[in-house]
Structure 1
Amino acid sequence: MPVTLFQALACPLDGTPLQRDGAAWRCPSGHSFDVARQNYANLLPVQHKRSRDPGDSKEMVAARRRFLAAGFYAPIADAVNRAVLADLPPDATVACLDAGCGEGYYLRQLAASAPAGCRLALMGLDISKWAVLSAAKQDARVSWVVGSNAHLPVLPGTLDRVLCMFGFPVYPEFARVLKPGGRLIQVDAGPEHLRELREIIYPALKPQRTADPPTPAGFTERPATTLRFRIELASAQEIADLLAMTPHLYRATAEARADAAALTALSLGVDVRLTCFEREAV
Structure 2
Amino acid sequence: MTLYSCPICKLPLYQLSSSLKCDNGHNFDFAKEGYINLLKLNNKKSILPGDNKDMISSRRLFLDSGHFDKVILEIIKIIEYYKPNHTKNILDLGCGEGYYTSFFQKEFNDIKFYGLDISKYAIKLAAKKHKKPVFFVASSKDIPLQEKSIDGIIKICAPMFVDEISKILKEEHIIVSVSPGNNHLIEIRNLLYKSIRNNTEKLNKIVDVDLIHTKEVKLDMSLNPKELQNLINMTPFKWKINNKLEKLLMSNNMFNCTAHFKIEVLKLKPSL
Contact 1:160 1:179 survives alignment (8 Å): yes
Q: Which residue of 1 aligns with 2:99?
A: 105
Partner amino acid for 1:123? Y
Do the aligned partners of residues 207 and 56 (structure 1) sit closer, same or farther apart at CA in structure 2, a change above 3 Å counting?
closer
Q: Which residue of 95, 103, 119 corresponds with 2:89? A: 95
| Coordinate RMSD, CA, aligned | 2.0
Q: Deviations over 1:98-156 (max 9, x none)?
A: 11000111111112223xxx611211010101100111011121221011000001111
Q: Deviations over 1:80-114 (max 9, x none)?
A: 1222222335x543311111000111111112223
Q: Which residue of 1 aligns with 2:4?
A: 9
Q: Which residue of 182, 195, 201 corresponds with 1:191? A: 182
Partner amino acid for 1:179? K
Q: Which residue of 2 aligns with 1:177?
A: 168
The question of 1:279 aligning with 2:268 is answered: yes
Question: Number of residue pairs matched?
Answer: 269
Contact 1:102 1:126 survives alignment (8 Å): yes
Q: Deviations over 1:205-256 (max 9, x none)?
A: 323157x85795232111211111211112x211110001112222x14545
Contact 2:210 2:269 survives alignment (8 Å): yes
Unaligned 5+ segments in structure 2 are none
Do the aligned partners of residues 214 and 230 (structure 1) sit closer, same or farther apart at CA in structure 2, a change above 3 Å counting?
same
Task: Tell me how far apart the structure 2 counterparts of residues 135 and 241 of structure 1 sit (CA, whole Å).
Answer: 18
The question of 1:155 aligning with 2:146 is answered: yes
Q: What TM-score, normalized by structure 1, do the two folds share?
A: 0.89
The question of 1:65 aligning with 2:55 is answered: no
Q: Which residue of 2 aligns with 1:3?
A: none
Q: Which residue of 213, 222, 233 corresponds with 2:223? A: 233
Contact 2:18 2:30 survives alignment (8 Å): yes
Q: Deviations over 1:17-40 (max 9, x none)?
A: 111111111111110011000000
Do the aligned partners of residues 209 and 39 (structure 1) sit closer, same or farther apart at CA in structure 2, a change above 3 Å counting?
closer
Q: Which residue of 1 aligns with 2:124?
A: 133
Task: Tell me how far apart the structure 2 counterparts of residues 254 and 195 of structure 1 sit (CA, whole Å).
Answer: 16
Q: Which residue of 1 aligns with 2:16?
A: 21
Using the TM superposition, give the Cα deviation of residue 191 of structure 1 relative to its aligned residue in structure 2, in angstroms. 0.6
The question of 1:269 aligning with 2:258 is answered: yes
Unaligned 5+ segments in structure 1 are 1-5
Partner amino acid for 2:212? R
Larger displacement relative to structure 2 (253-262 or 58-67):
253-262
The secondary structure found in structure 1 opposite 2:148 is: coil
Q: Which residue of 2 aligns with 1:35?
A: 30
Task: Tell me how far apart the structure 2 counterparts of residues 180 and 75 of structure 1 sit (CA, whole Å).
Answer: 29
Identity of aligned residues (%): 25
The secondary structure found in structure 1 opposite 2:172 is: strand
Do the aligned partners of residues 278 and 215 (structure 1) sit closer, same or farther apart at CA in structure 2, a change above 3 Å counting?
farther
Do the aligned partners of residues 194 and 17 (structure 1) sit closer, same or farther apart at CA in structure 2, a change above 3 Å counting?
same
Contact 1:249 1:257 survives alignment (8 Å): no
The secondary structure found in structure 2 opposite 1:96 is: strand
Q: Which residue of 117, 120, 136 corresponds with 2:111? A: 120
Give 4+ residue runs of structure 1 displaced > 4 Å after superposition: 212-216
Partner amino acid for 1:280? K
Do the aligned partners of residues 7 and 205 (structure 1) sit closer, same or farther apart at CA in structure 2, a change above 3 Å counting?
farther
Partner amino acid for 1:9? Y
Partner amino acid for 2:211? E
Task: Tell me how far apart the structure 2 counterparts of residues 144 and 35 of structure 1 sit (CA, whole Å).
Answer: 10
Q: Which residue of 1 aligns with 2:42?
A: 47
Task: Tell me how far apart the structure 1 counterparts of residues 82 and 171 of structure 2 sit (CA, whole Å).
Answer: 15
Q: What TM-score, normalized by structure 2, do the two folds share?
A: 0.92
Using the TM superposition, give the Cα deviation of residue 260 of structure 1 relative to its aligned residue in structure 2, in angstroms. 4.2
